[in-house]
Amino acid sequence: MRKLVVTTFITLDGVMQAPGGPEEDPTGGFTYGGWTVNYWDDMMGQVMGEFMAKPSELLLGRKTYEIFAAHWPYIKDDPVADKLNSVRKYVVSRTLDEASWNNSTLVTGNVVQAVRNLKEQKGPDIQVHGSGNLIQTLLKHDLIDEFRLWIFPVTIGKGKRLFGEGTQPVSLKLIDSKTSTTGVIIATYEPAGELKTGSFALDNPSVTEIERRKRLADEGKS
């Protein structure tokens, strides 16, 4: 079975909306579009180029597809553009009648089953870029095999978040990390099973420990 890999730019507080510009997604009155622009450096470009050079296919939500289709076909002599324009693209949408960007196929109906079927087919890994609404569906149904999170040193406080309502509680394993000269952390995680919880509380705290806690509580009140 091939992997489904989500690559997402997010803020420290988890917002992923409109990273590349104000026009990308102003939904909900979002006015902070373009929050990644001033943090890009050569290392980030190299990492993205190496990742995009790997054999892959794309799975995109409608909004991200429309943003990409309005931009990348018009970029010449660029390896990332060449890759995006040529690879097989699957577009999840309930409203589009066609997907005219080169090598694009509409995915309609039961999206969850369609994605499962794609993962079971022979072929390269499937990459998801942007596509916030689609990612929520993938998260809910445990369909993501790897997260590549580009974490930017900014907070916004509102906007669409990567891990929204319906996210399943799971553990993740860090398998790679890099940091740009501008403070962007590029971290790669894979699912590591169910979330396990515990407690640091002592099973049988001693009298001394109880007194210490009481003293600290009393000091906090003064």
Residue 145 belongs to a domain: yes
Residue 182 belongs to a domain: yes
Q: What is the pLDDT of residues 107-124, one digit of tens each?
A: 988 999 999 999 999 999
Residue 175 belongs to a domain: yes
Residue 22 belongs to a domain: yes
Give the Cα separation of 150 and 16 in Å (integer). 10
Q: What is the pLDDT of residues 39-69, one digit of tens each?
A: 999 999 999 988 888 899 999 999 899 989 9
- Kindly tell me if the per-residue pLDDT of 80 is higher than 90: no
Taking all residues of the chain, what is their mean pLDDT, rounded to a whole number?
A: 90
Amino acid 149: pLDDT: 97
Residue 211 belongs to a domain: no
Confidence of residue 207 (pLDDT cuts 50, 70, 90): low
Residue 222 belongs to a domain: no
Range of the structural domain that residue 88 is part of: 4-197
Run of H or E residues at 91 = strand 89-92
Backbone CA torsion sign across 187, 151, 70, 60? positive
Confidence of residue 130 (pLDDT cuts 50, 70, 90): confident
- Helix 132-140 vs helix 62-69: crossing angle, to nearest 10: 140
Q: What percent of the chain lies above the pLDDT cut of 90?
A: 66
Amino acid 133: pLDDT: 87
- Within 96-206, where are the H helices? 111-120, 132-140
- Extract the tokens encoding 64: 């991200």
Query: Total structural domains in the chain?
Result: 1
- Kindly tell me if the per-residue pLDDT of 222 is higher than 60: no
- The answer, as to whether pTM is greater than 0.85, is no
Amino acid 59: pLDDT: 96
Amino acid 199: pLDDT: 84
CATH code, domain with 170: 3.40.430.10
Pick the residue with more confidence: 143 or 216?
A: 143
- Extract the tokens encoding 193: 């099973």
